[in-house]
Amino acid sequence: MNRKTIIPIGPYHPLQEEPEFFELEMEGEKVIDINVHIGYNHRSIEKIAESKTFDQMVFLVERICGICSTSHPIANCNAVEDLARIEIPERARYIRSIVGELERLHSHLLWAGLAGHFIGYNTLWMWIWKYREPILEIFEAVTGNRNHYAMMIPGGVRRDIKEEDIPFLSKGLDEAERKIDMVTKAVLDDPVLAARLKGVGILSREDAINYCAVGPTARASGIPIDVRRDDPYAAYDLVDWKIITQEEGDVFAKVVVRLLECFESIKIIRQCLKMLRTVKGEIAAKVKEIPPGEGIGHHEAPRGEVFHYVRSDGSNMPVRLKVRAPTYVNLPTCKATVPGESVADAAIILAAIDPCYCCTERIVTINKRTGQRELNGQDLLRLSRKKTEKICKNMGRRNV
């Protein structure tokens, strides 16, 4: 007799802020398999990008995800700069790193708070989000907006960080560091959190490699990968910082990695701010035209590597933009971590990769009930080949 039960989580579920749908196959209390359905958030950004100019595209990719809202622009600008062989001014490199790291700070704190919420520890949530506010205030002072900073443009940055802003920034950072330090100590010593999170949802080193995990998910399993070090851009090779790894691979290790990374971020920002006092000059290189060709760019977003590919035919609009967000590769690791755990732990394990579905949404699969066919892998492959051929033909080239 088949005693399997299926528990659906989503698409609209109180625990999730974004629509996504998990099917947990259960045997008693134990999860034996998990299926993920995404696509509720697909907004066809790659297609819209083809109707935007290179400058506008940056604002568009910013709206891929509200939490990584500077990661996508940095990766995109890196790609366009790679395509057009643009060297960005040194001051712009420091400013990019500052904004990128501030974002990591706010994103990691946001996740830590939500993780508390997921295990029913709302005190932690309220507490951490309260300490996240000063970072948003810094953002508002420096970039003009709490989220969606609109700081990047191909060739540099749009706004300078002024001399008089620096004391405010440093003060805010000192404050934030003290608070994060307090939270970190409290979280690491908390017996409740340890009991709830240690040894739960272990992602082994082998699995992390097999599933190509990136970012904190991989680093918590003992794999020291980080694009900031492996292929430096912005100012990451000009400052001193280190990669945080943990060996255990469980949810607790992921918490530790993220919280400790906050201190590295603060360290990077401090060094960049110091350099801003001496490195003066332009904040953006002049970009006259984008030649035909293709470029790639990446950035270590708070969740892992985000990758952008841009192809141009020499006009002012790209002919193709391709985005690969970190959750896209991190999400399948739930196949390795969730089965075998109890249903109560499933939510926090799923949340432990810091999923961001609006980044991940790839393709629209239309429900059968509405009478339209869902696309399968083969269809997608065929479509993508057809498209590449078309682009190649339009560009007058035979191969990719």
Query: Per CB under 6 A, does 320 bind ligand SF4?
Result: no
Q: Directed axis angle between helix 165-189 and helix 251-278, to 10°?
A: 160
Touching other proteins, residues 60-99 (CB under 8 A): 60, 63-67, 69
388 binds, among ligand SF4, other proteins, none (CB under 5 to 8 A by kind): none
**Does 148 contact other proteins by CB under 8 A?**
yes
Non-local (6+) Cβ contacts of 285 within 8 A are 86, 87, 88, 89, 92, 155, 156
Using CB under 8 A as the binding rule, whether residue 368 contacts other proteins is answered as no
Residue from the set 4, 7, 8, 12 that interacts with other proteins by CB under 8 A: 12
194: CB partners within 8 A, 6+ apart? 252
Compare residues 42 and 274 and give the one whose CB is closer to ligand SF4.
42
In the complex, what is the shortest distance from the CB of residue 287 to other proteins, in angstroms, rounded to a whole number? Answer: 22
Residue 55 near other proteins by CB under 8 A: no
**CB within 8 Å of 100: residues ≥ 6 apart:** 70, 71, 74, 234, 299
Q: Which of 66, 199, 232, 291 binds ligand SF4 (CB under 6 A)?
A: 66
Beta carbons of 310 and 290 less than 8 angstroms apart: no
Shortest distance (Å) from residue 147 CB to ligand SF4: 7
Q: Could you tell me the smallest distance in angstroms from the CB atom of residue 134 to other proteins? A: 10
- H helical segments located in the chain: 45-49, 54-62, 71-84, 90-118, 122-143, 165-189, 191-197, 205-210, 215-219, 227-230, 251-278, 326-330, 334-337, 343-352, 357-360, 377-395
263 makes contact, choosing from ligand SF4, other proteins, none, with CB < 5 to 8 Å by partner type, with: none
Is the Cβ of residue 66 or residue 120 nearer to ligand SF4 in the bound state?
66
Contact set with other proteins (CB under 8 A): 11-12, 14, 17-19, 39-45, 47-48, 51, 59-60, 63-67, 69, 110, 125-126, 129-130, 133, 146-148, 356, 358, 364-367, 369-370
Contact set with ligand SF4 (CB under 6 A): 63, 66
